[in-house]
Amino acid sequence: WFLLMVRDDFKGGKITLEKALKLLEKLDIQCNTIHVKYIFKDNDRLQQGRITIEEFRTIYRIITYREEIIEIFNTYSENRKILLEKNLIQFLMREQYTLDFSESIASEIIQKYEPIEEVKQAHQMSFEGFRRYMDSSECLIFNNEYGHVYQDMTHPLTDYFISSSHNTYLISDQLWGPSDLWGYVSALVKGCRCLEIDCWDGSQNEPVVYHGYTFTSKLLFKTVIQAIHKYAFLASEYPVVLSLENHCSPSQQEVMADSLLATFGDALLSYTLDNFSDRLPSPEALKFKILVRNKKIGTLRETLERRGSDVHGQVEEYEEEEEVEEEEDGSGAKEPEPVGDFRDDLEKEEQSKRVVRIPLFRKKKIKISMALSDLVIYTKVEKFKSFHHSNLYQQFNESNSIGESQARKLTKLAAREFILHTRKFITRIYPKAIRADSSNFNPQEFWNVGCQMVALNFQTPGLPMDLQNGKFLDNGCSGYILKPRFLRDKKTKFNPHKVPIDSNPLTLTIRLISGIQLPPSYQNKADTLVIVEIFGVPNDQMKQQSRVIKKNEKRFGKFYYLILCYRRVPLFSKLGESLEPASLFIYVWYIR
């Protein structure tokens, strides 16, 4: 089979690296170009940049004939050459734990992955077919079902975690870096559903977007929302929330309102939906809709009564109490900026207990254009005062924004009250101001209490964004993840800091078997190790690492084949970019 597939390509003699790469592609072999380049050089015996058919065969076997896959194949093959359909069935049931199994599944796998026609017709599978199956998306650690929207999307918005970005227009730090449309485009492409837009008065009555009182560059508001309009629903059809940080004068707020209406048209939600006049609608009901999140004058009923009226020129003023928190330790120094991992953040919080806090309050008058106010329907911004106050007075369409420091204190001191609050009201958590380098906090601690919008600096790679990207891979990368029942139940007794008396924990076992086509910078120049870490409630958090593998070893240690559930873990770069086909080959099991 192999010779039949490649023979014609060698009619002219030896082939180059470029031709070898095309031939591997023709053979349906996923490979990293740099990885192949190294192998090509090692097997080009005459070092002429051209190889024979036998040298190409050696390269092919190096890439595809992995010892661990051969071992599994031979375990179930009766003659070490082919798998009968019944052999494949045994493998799927014993090793892959295919619970909803039927004989047709084995037949479908053979038809899909077996490249040799006569073997396929005999309902058998060669090693070539078995290897293709093991390297396929069906054997990824992520369940294929989660690659599309599978969750119930008819719950109210409060019942979902919503992928959210902080200061989305920034692509670098918070003080000096550029503002760029790419911030919005890249976030939307990743499935982000809540974008932040800081709006300020600009010249010639054109509102601008930038980080106020800093040296960051400026974008026109209208060009920002035009970019959002273009990319809003490419990755997900579920609603996009525009969280406006509004510092504009009433006249430029009217310009913003006109731009929003002109750009988004019917997609802009400017009225309550039928049957949702007194409760939040679902993501399903809001498909392809844009929601404005901003301060609002009056009630929804008053807004609906004005519908169709010209409210241009109408301005309302209200007074808001604002807390300004100064932090001193006796030396006049501000709280130092967290560095390192999340544990450092927690250490800083513990140190802050010794800090003397002087709360200062000031009253601020805010002018709101009625034209902009009336575009705010289900996502009115309301200042958070206390859980008790919210429970008594907060309306269903009002949401809160809470800074990470205050939110962290609340998770420690009143976790259950926090959960009951997020069950009823959308809550957005944002990074504290001293994160001038656009660093991020651990989002998990706020997901633990049901916060829907945990806003991160998407431009900053690292562990927090790894958690964000990993979490929202679920449910078809739609940007909406249904919260677990215990974060939605009004009778919940869940507290992330306490272990339930009747808990029935799982024991998760992950065994590393091999690394596949690791990037050359890792495989050839550096020692390699794998760290496995669980993030969740504090009692579940665990971190372990493999032993260090010295330079250029192909596998992570001894191969074990009498094990369960083989899976492939795709690898990503620090920037979150796929390094496919680089991956880890593992097995996973869990027991109660």
Please compute the mean of the pLDDT values over residues 437-448 and round it to a whole number.
95
CATH numeric code, 507-591: 2.60.40.150
Report pLDDT for 236.
97
What is the assigned CATH class of domain 157-301+361-487?
alpha beta
Report pLDDT for 200.
97
Please compute the mean of the pLDDT values over residues 487-503 and round it to a whole number.
90
- Whether 211 is catalytic is yes
Does 223 score more than 90 pLDDT? yes
Please compute the mean of the pLDDT values over residues 26-55 and round it to a whole number.
91
Report pLDDT for 95.
87
Kindly state the helix (H) or strand (E) to which residue 91 belongs, with its residue range: helix 85-94
For the ranges 80-89, 410-419, 420-429, 562-571, which has the lowest average pLDDT?
562-571
**Selected catalytic residue, list 35, 211, 388, 421:** 211
Does 256 score more than 60 pLDDT? yes
- Whether 166 is catalytic is yes
Q: What is the distance between the alpha carbons of residues 282 and 275, in angstroms, rounded to a whole number? A: 11
Return the CATH fold of 1-64. Recoverin; domain 1 (1.10.238)
Does 382 score more than 90 pLDDT? yes
- At 529-572, the pLDDT tens digits run 899 999 999 999 999 988 887 764 543 333 333 335 899 999 99
| Exposure class string for 462-471: b at 16+ Cβ within 10 A, else e | eebbebbbeb
User: For the CA atoms of 205, 207, 213, 218, what is the dihedral angle to 10 degrees?
Assistant: -110
Does 165 score more than 70 pLDDT? yes
In this structure, what token pair is assigned to residue 563?
A: 């094990």
Average pLDDT score, the chain: 88
- At 101-158, the pLDDT tens digits run 667 889 999 999 999 999 999 999 999 999 999 999 889 888 878 889 999 999 999 9
Query: Which three-class secondary structure state does DSSP give residue 212?
Result: coil
Return the CATH fold of 79-139. Recoverin; domain 1 (1.10.238)
Please compute the mean of the pLDDT values over residues 428-444 and round it to a whole number.
94
- Candidates 267, 284, 266; CA nearest to 275 is 284
The residue to which tokens 């907060």 are assigned: 394
Report pLDDT for 563.
36
Please compute the mean of the pLDDT values over residues 35-44 and round it to a whole number.
91
CA 273 to chain centre: 29
**Selected catalytic residue, list 166, 229, 247, 389:** 166
Give the start-to-end residue ranges of the domains of the chain: 1-64, 79-139, 157-301+361-487, 507-591
Q: What is the distance between the alpha carbons of residues 315 and 4, in angstroms, rounded to a whole number? A: 78
Does 333 score more than 60 pLDDT? no
- At 268-320, the pLDDT tens digits run 999 999 999 999 999 999 999 999 999 999 999 999 999 888 999 999 988 77
- At 349-371, the pLDDT tens digits run 555 444 444 455 577 888 999 99
The reply to whether domains 1-64 and 79-139 share a CATH topology is yes
Q: What is the distance between the alpha carbons of residues 149 and 146, in angstroms, rounded to a whole number? A: 7
Report pLDDT for 472.
96
Does 520 score more than 70 pLDDT? no
Does 339 score more than 50 pLDDT? no
